[in-house]
Amino acid sequence: MANRTAPYPSYNYLVDLKGSRDPEKPLGGFSDLAGLKTELHISEYRDGNDVANYVRKYSGMHTTADVTLKRGVVDTSDLWAWITDARTNGSSAQRDVTITLRDEANNPVQVFKLYNVTPKGYTGPTLSGKGAGDIAIEELVLAPETIEISQAG
């Protein structure tokens, strides 16, 4: 696929939370994934006797943004079990999470690896007795320490 010029679709991806579940039994598909972002802290510096009339910019530490996953509520407690583990055991509950973007033929094309991820937050569904037919959506916020992006394969 080195000659591909069309962007890949954003709807075809897999999320592997690396839990204790059986890999043959999916945890439940996520309908939305947002926040794949990293930033470098830039420090500005200029010597007082520097002839150039501008500041020099030096890269320093980097940060990785929180990643938000949303899905319809399914009959599993895996997400809550991970949050409970993080609440009681701290950093030993961290996991590496892999997000794989796939092409239209379901071939992996790009991999986002999130390292030392802690579940930061959970938002339960909005429930309403109106009978509008809305899906009960839950949200999980992940706090990774760093991110690595690579081509699949």
Question: What are the tens digits of pLDDT across the range 17-65?
Answer: 877 666 566 566 799 999 999 999 999 998 888 888 889 999 999 999 9
User: For residue 82, what pLDDT band results from cuts at 50, 70 and 90?
Assistant: very high
Domain membership flag for residue 102: yes
Q: How many domains is the chain built from?
A: 1
In the prediction, which pLDDT does 21 show? 62
Residues in a beta bridge with 69: 33, 140
- Which pTM was predicted? 0.86
User: For residue 3, what pLDDT band results from cuts at 50, 70 and 90?
Assistant: confident
Q: Residue 81 burial (CB < 10 Å; 0-12/13-18/19+)?
A: middle
Domain membership flag for residue 107: yes
Domain membership flag for residue 86: yes
In the prediction, which pLDDT does 133 show? 76
Domain membership flag for residue 60: no
In the prediction, which pLDDT does 47 show? 87
Domain membership flag for residue 50: no
Domain membership flag for residue 51: no
Domain membership flag for residue 95: yes
Q: Give the residue-averaged pLDDT of 72-76.
A: 82
The domain of 134 spans 13-37+66-151
Domain membership flag for residue 19: yes
Measured over the CA atoms of residue 22, residue 27, residue 32 and residue 37, the dihedral's sign is negative
* Phi, psi of 93, rounded to the nearest 5 degrees: -90, -5
